């Protein structure tokens, strides 16, 4: 079975690995979450119009860009739509993502994971190095964050993908999240034992 995982599915897995079991192995949708994602998507598009993108690209040293690019890789088991695929003046490439959000350190790890997934997809599809990514926080005066992808980040990321594949392909039942607060709000709490 050819499994392609999206960054949002990976982020849900990091939130609680049992989401992968219920959503992607047992195929029980988590409706509230999906609705939220749709709403967020619309807001992001509205907000992007307010950004001076040329200024941002100049700051980064961009020599080429493609927008809203769908990329996938069977080898990496990944898929996703990248807001902007950038070519930089040193010949390398990088993803750029817009977040309709304030910059918060607590969310940095999540956004880093997403950016890394896009960076790996870019490198695989374009055959060029992608050793960093960029995120723009539209609610923090378009704060631009540069994220460096280290080998350890890539190794950790690949372990996460392997764990997800084990769940989806073999039905491995992962441990619960250690956070009881997450369980209180969870749509799966009645079937999660």
C-beta closer to ligand SF4: residue 55 or 173: 173
Closest CA to 93 of 55, 74, 121: 121
> Interface with ligand SF4 includes 18 (CB under 6 A)?
yes
- Among the residue ranges 51-59, 84-92, 104-112, 182-190, the one whose residues contact ligand SF4 (CB under 6 A): 182-190
> Interface with ligand SF4 includes 176 (CB under 6 A)?
yes
> Interface with ligand SF4 includes 135 (CB under 6 A)?
no
CB of 37 to ligand SF4, least distance (A): 17
> Interface with ligand SF4 includes 73 (CB under 6 A)?
no
> Interface with ligand SF4 includes 30 (CB under 6 A)?
no
> Interface with ligand SF4 includes 177 (CB under 6 A)?
yes
Closest CA to 113 of 159, 71, 74: 159
Concatenating the DSSP letter of every residue in 129-171 gives: ---EEEEEETTTTTEEEEEE--HHHHHHHHHHHHHHHHHHHH-
> Interface with ligand SF4 includes 65 (CB under 6 A)?
no
> Interface with ligand SF4 includes 16 (CB under 6 A)?
yes
Q: What's the rounded Cα separation, in Å, for the pair 73 and 65?
A: 20
C-beta closer to ligand SF4: residue 21 or 134: 21
C-beta closer to ligand SF4: residue 9 or 84: 9
> Phi, psi at residue 102, to the nearest 5°?
-85, 150
> Phi, psi at residue 29, to the nearest 5°?
-70, 150
The first and second tokens of residue 170, run together, are: 């073999």
Q: In what order do the strands lie in the sheet with 78-88?
A: 62-73, 78-88, 93-99, 132-137, 143-148
Which residues in this chain contact ligand SF4 in the complex, by CB under 6 A? 16, 18-19, 176-177, 182-183, 186, 188-189, 192
């Amino acid at each position: 079975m050819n499994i392609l995982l999206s960054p949002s599915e990976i982020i849900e897995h990091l939130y609680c690995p049992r989401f992968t079991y219920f959503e992607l192995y047992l195929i029980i949708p988590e409706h509230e979450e999906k609705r939220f994602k749709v709403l967020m998507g619309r807001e992001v598009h509205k907000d992007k119009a307010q950004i001076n993108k040329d200024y941002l690209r100049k700051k980064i040293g961009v020599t080429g860009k493609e927008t809203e690019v769908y990329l996938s890789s069977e080898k990496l088991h990944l898929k996703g739509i990248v807001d902007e695929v950038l070519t930089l003046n040193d010949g390398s490439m990088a993803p750029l993502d817009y977040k309709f959000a304030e910059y918060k350190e607590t969310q940095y790890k999540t956004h880093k994971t997403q950016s890394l997934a896009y960076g790996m997809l870019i490198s695989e599809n374009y055959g060029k190095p992608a050793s960093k990514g960029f995120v723009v926080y539209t609610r923090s005066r378009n704060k631009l964050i540069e994220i460096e992808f280290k080998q350890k980040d890539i190794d950790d990321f690949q372990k996460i993908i392997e764990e997800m594949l084990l769940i989806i392909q073999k039905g491995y039942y992962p441990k619960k999240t250690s956070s009881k607060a997450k369980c209180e709000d969870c749509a799966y709490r009645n079937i999660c034992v």
